[in-house]
Structure 1
Amino acid sequence: KWDTELARTMNYVPNKTTLASAVADEEGVAAMAAGAAHGRATPSTPLWAAVEADNPIKPYMTKVLSGGDAQKAARGASQRITEELAPGL
């Protein structure tokens, strides 16, 4: 009950997927809840800083949002991330 009230009152992303319906009427929060349900945390490695510095997600998103080939752009971003996390692979 408390989690549901908090999500509705404060526009918080619920901490459980079963509570997503509590924010269904709030378009922005509902979108974030859906993303959180399907997202993953960044890898627990100090090498992640290099990925953040290179920022391969920005050109990936730019290509996709500009109508480019999403799969091709994703492969490119994935390759750049892999190169940063596992050099020489």
Structure 2
Amino acid sequence: MSADLDLSPPEVPEPTFFESLLRYGLFLGAIFQLICILAVIIPTSKGHEQPVETSDPADTRSTDQNRKAKPPVQQIRQKMKKESKKKR
């Protein structure tokens, strides 16, 4: 009975150059993907982020005044029509 069982390791052919190239290419691709995922998950330096609503109240006042200083387009057209009528 023991003569019938062959316990020697199976013969595995040596990998070819292209198989090795494919294997290492897949490893490099997996490492690259992990680096990309980590770059998205882990925040980078804080210097590039803009502060959220930390501006001075004076800045908001000046932007409000600029908005109020510009009349709407319809008012400008109405004034031009009135002036043209006055000239007649």
TM-score, normalised to structure 1's length?
0.22
- TM-score, normalised via structure 2 length: 0.22
Higher relative CO (Cα under 8 Å, sequence separation at least 6) belongs to 1
Bigger Rg over Cα: 2
